[in-house]
């Protein structure tokens, strides 16, 4: 086996987004494309010689080929060991767990998260640092800088490694260790939750749940934890076999794309509890019988009930939420007497808060929730947290949420996604809003008066770093908000996300449909941004 140094030239489009580099499969399959980006990662790192790298992905199309390329490049660049998930499979939270448990130097995760998979769909790659979390901006900036000047990359001339057989083998001077994808993660979950109590809930004959893994990475984890360890009946997990194209579905756990689960949970013989996770296992959707829990409310409910769960019985250091996420968690934090941090979108912004012990629970409105147990959001962790609460309180999902609203008030909240908007039109919409912002303060729209209009900027309380232009906020004097943000997770055009929030303390109005309660704000957003004109769309692609 010899180390090859191969000449290459830069690609102009390898700037990582909020969750790494995501492109269509055909782009990644170009000669040298993946290799360039991997070498750019290695070139931007220092001190990894002889150290351990964790490697795995969500099993989407091109995952196995990419694993082999990265193994040979890691060997050529001097890593001492790579822990790779069996079959190339590792959920994103499991990868974070393994990096932290074994003190790895870092990890490479192959996923485009909730984006579709298959030969004509998407692929992605991101680097996680030694704390188990996504690389911070200073690292991704260095990776991008390297990608723009790269002239060569290194790889080992060697046959492919058998990644389906557990155990160790050698690739040149490097050890390749194929590990069980589930066991370390399951052990971590058992240390946090009352598995005996959850097992009783799932086996007492009066409680039914359905876990939809959407033919994505959580299938093996869900089968192992819910059906085997916790004793839920066979069939509790649906769509539990990971497929390269996710069965032709869209592995995004929301009310539109997890349609089979939604039909079941809103049907005549609905289980008591339903949940779904996404492509790489870091997102979650929670449902009760004919009842949807918004991610914002889910974070708030978990925080309010955290002391019922063994891993959090001593209380929370703080709560962190992304800026577009509703302020429901802020109200819980205020009552608990702890801090609540508002960060930009992107899990990497929570890492410093978690490492510094300033926050314990974190959440994003985009169906991501997590805690200080790893440095990624974690879909199955959220499901187990809910099950632990349900097992202790012996109430339904709806009862728990409605009681929460009675205590804290209800933050009516919704997100409207306009997907695959032509990039120039999406940016023109943002420019149109920016042009109005200086004159919006004090302006009246019906019963609403603008209190502030800004582009969110965040100063990290730990390291002092500043992140600007993180989303347009228009706040009203009654506490209501409209937020506009272009998402960085898609690969086709741009996704415009419109977030709407209104606080309602009156219990008599808590029954309203959010789209009705937010109707005036929806109209104001259209008036301010001219969404239909700029997007060319009469209605959102997805409403959650």
Coil, strand or helix: which one is 116?
Answer: coil
- CA 19 – CA 175 distance, rounded (Å): 28
**Cβ density class 97-126: b for 16+ within 10 Å, e for less:** bbbbbeebbbbbbbbbbbbbbbeebbbbbb
CB atoms within 10 A of CB 193: 22
| Short-list 263, 269, 276, 291, CA closest to 210 | 276
Closest CA to 541 of 363, 421, 404, 390: 421
What size, in residues, is the chain?
544
Which of 101, 361, 395, 380 lies closest to 230, judged by CA? Answer: 380
- Tell me which residue has tokens 């250091």: 317
Closest CA to 485 of 472, 476, 474: 472
Contact 343, 56 (CB under 8 A): no
Separation between Cα atoms, residue 174 and residue 172, nearest integer Å: 6
Measured CA distances, 476 to 159, 189, 293, 502, 535 (Å): 62, 41, 25, 10, 25
Residue 124: strand, helix, or coil: strand
- The single-letter DSSP state of residue 226 is I
Active site residue 113: yes
Distance CA 110, CA 126 (A): 7
Residues whose CB falls within 8 Å of the CB of residue 370, separated by 6 or more in sequence, listed in order: 93, 282, 347, 350, 361, 362, 363, 376, 377, 378, 381, 382
Question: Active site residue: 19, 91, 111, 113, which one?
Answer: 113
Give, for 436, the enclosing helix (H) or strand (E): helix 423-436
Write the CA distances from 10 to 14, 32, 38, 149, 151, integer angstroms: 9, 9, 12, 6, 7
CB atoms within 10 A of CB 150: 20
Give the catalytic positions in this structure: 113
């Amino acid at each position: 086996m010899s180390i090859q140094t191969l000449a290459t030239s830069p690609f102009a489009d390898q700037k990582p987004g909020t969750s790494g580099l995501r492109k269509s499969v055909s782009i990644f399959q170009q000669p040298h494309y993946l290799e360039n980006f991997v070498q750019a990662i290695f070139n931007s790192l220092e001190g990894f010689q002889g150290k351990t790298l964790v490697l795995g992905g969500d099993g989407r199309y091109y995952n196995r080929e990419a694993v082999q390329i990265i193994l040979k490049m890691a060997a050529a660049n001097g890593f001492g060991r790579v822990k790779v998930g069996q079959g190339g499979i590792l959920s994103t939270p499991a990868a974070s767990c393994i990096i932290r448990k074994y003190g790895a130097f870092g990890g490479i995760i192959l996923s485009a998260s909730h984006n579709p998979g298959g030969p004509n769909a998407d692929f992605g790659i991101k680097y996680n640092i030694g704390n188990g979390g996504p690389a911070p901006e200073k690292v991704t900036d260095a990776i991008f800088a390297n990608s723009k000047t790269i002239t060569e990359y290194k790889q080992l001339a060697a046959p492919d490694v058998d990644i389906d057989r557990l155990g160790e083998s050698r690739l040149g001077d490097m050890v390749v260790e194929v590990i069980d994808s589930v066991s370390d993660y399951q052990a971590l979950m058992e240390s946090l939750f009352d598995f005996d109590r959850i097992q009783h809930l799932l086996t007492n004959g009066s409680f039914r749940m359905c876990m939809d893994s959407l033919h994505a990475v959580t299938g093996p984890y869900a089968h192992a934890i819910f059906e085997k360890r916790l004793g839920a009946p066979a069939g509790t997990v649906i769509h539990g076999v990971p497929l390269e194209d996710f069965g032709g579905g869209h592995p995004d756990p929301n009310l539109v794309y997890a349609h089979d689960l939604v039909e079941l949970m809103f049907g005549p013989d609905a289980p008591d509890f339903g949940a779904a996770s996404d492509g790489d296992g870091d997102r979650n959707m929670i449902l009760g019988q004919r009842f949807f829990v918004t991610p914002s409310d889910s974070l708030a409910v978990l925080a309010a009930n955290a002391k019922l769960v063994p891993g959090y019985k001593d209380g929370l250091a703080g709560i962190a939420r992304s800026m577009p996420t509703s302020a429901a968690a802020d109200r819980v934090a205020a009552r608990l007497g702890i801090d609540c941090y508002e960060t930009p979108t992107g899990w990497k912004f929570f890492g410093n808060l978690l490492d510094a012990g300033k926050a314990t629970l974190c959440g994003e409105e985009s169906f991501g929730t997590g805690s200080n147990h790893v440095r990624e959001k974690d879909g199955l962790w959220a499901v187990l947290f809910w099950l632990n609460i349900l097992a202790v309180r012996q109430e339904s999902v709806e009862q728990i949420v409605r009681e929460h609203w009675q205590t804290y008030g209800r933050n009516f909240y919704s997100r409207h996604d306009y997907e695959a908007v032509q990039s120039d039109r999406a940016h023109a919409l943002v420019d149109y809003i920016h042009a109005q912002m200086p004159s919006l303060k004090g302006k009246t729209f019906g019963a609403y008066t603008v209190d502030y209009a800004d582009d969110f900027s965040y100063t990290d309380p730990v390291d002092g770093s500043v992140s600007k232009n993180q989303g347009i906020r228009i706040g009203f004097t009654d506490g209501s908000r409209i937020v506009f943000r272009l998402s960085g997770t898609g690969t086709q055009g741009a996704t415009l996300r419109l977030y709407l929030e209104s606080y309602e303390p009156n219990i008599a109005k808590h029954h309203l449909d959010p789209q009705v309660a937010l109707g005036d704000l929806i109209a104001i957003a259209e008036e301010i941004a001219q969404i239909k004109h700029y997007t060319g769309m009469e209605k959102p692609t997805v409403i959650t």
